[in-house]
Amino acid sequence: MERGQSSRNRRNGTRIKLLIPNPILLNMSKKILVTGGAGFIGSHLIDRLIEKNEIICLDNFDPYYDPEIKRKNIEPHLERDNFKLVESDVRDRESLEGVFKEGVDKVVHLAAKVGVRPSIKYPFVYIDVNIKGTLNLLELCKTYGVENFVFASSSSVYGLNNTPFREDDKVDTQVSPYGTSKRACELYCRTYSLLYEIPTVCLRFFTVYGPRQRPDMAIHKFTRLIDQGKPIEMYGDGTSKRDYTYVTDIVDGVISALNKKFDFEIFNLGESRTVELRYLISLIEKNLGKKARIDQKPAQPGDVPVTYADISKARRMLGYEPKVRIEEGIRRFVEWYLESSSGIS
């Protein structure tokens, strides 16, 4: 339910009608904290938000991949008056409190320990970073009264569910600690929204790709290895399917969530189309003008055969409409890769 339509009475839990209209919140400058802001999605989001808002980018520059890549992502903003970089960790409660004390209107929480397969090997760090880090932020949102909190969840919460995945599906079949940690964070978000009236949105991202994508992700890794003439590891027989979503479409969805106030909602953000792995590889081959050398491997624990988003709720309530189909998205990605590899971008 949108704020501006109703709110929760603290004493008896009933809802009361508000007489004020729902504001379009980003028409005026806001101070927005973006955790993980130097990363792939975070830096694209900041590129869009910074034109009208004051941005606090919090990032710990985790060495999961080269931190210099993330520093380059935000380099264009470092000298701007409305941009502040805080090099810290969401697990550092004292440092976070220092940020909130200076004023935060809205929070987009993208920072996380990522990776399905690594989470099987190192599950405890996913509890520490993803769950405890999110809880730190929710506690501070409660204390400092932020306008709304947007949490980056994942299609991994659906696990072995039947497709297409819907937000009202029962989600108790996660197949990786990563997916389980994201689901636990969603539950904490719901609880804090109910207890403390923190307007909250959880966005379930579906396989995001595009310029600046992490180098360990399949599209980036495949492109690099095919370009270099090296074999790519294909897990399974190539028939697995993913709902690949271009980063600008994801950013559109995040900004729409920031533009509205909901008591609590969950939305899928995907392209709502499944793409077979072999077809994905063929698109990269076509755009590179090179043939892949495929090293076929057994399917990996933690992988699911299909992800597929039902986005009807996001269309209806967020006005979300993905614009970049996989064929165009891969063309753009390969173009960026070739330019950045040549030192042009």
Taking the C-alpha atoms of residue 277 and residue 239, their distance in angstroms, rounded to an integer, is 6
Prior bond to 164 cis, omega within 30?
A: yes
Which pair of tokens denotes residue 136? 């730190």
Taking the C-alpha atoms of residue 189 and residue 261, their distance in angstroms, rounded to an integer, is 14
Count Cα atoms within 13 angstroms, Cβ side, for 285.
Answer: 13
CA distances from 315 to 14, 256, 329 (A): 28, 11, 21
Taking the C-alpha atoms of residue 20 and residue 133, their distance in angstroms, rounded to an integer, is 34
DSSP 4-49: TTEEE-TTT--EEE--SPPP-GGGS--EEEEETTTSHHHHHHHHHH
Taking the C-alpha atoms of residue 43 and residue 247, their distance in angstroms, rounded to an integer, is 10
Establish whether 158 is a catalytic residue: no
Catalytic one of 122, 126, 144, 178: 178
What stretch of H or E contains 340?
A: helix 326-341
Q: What is the dihedral of CA 87, 88, 90, 94, to 10 degrees?
A: -140
List active site positions. 178
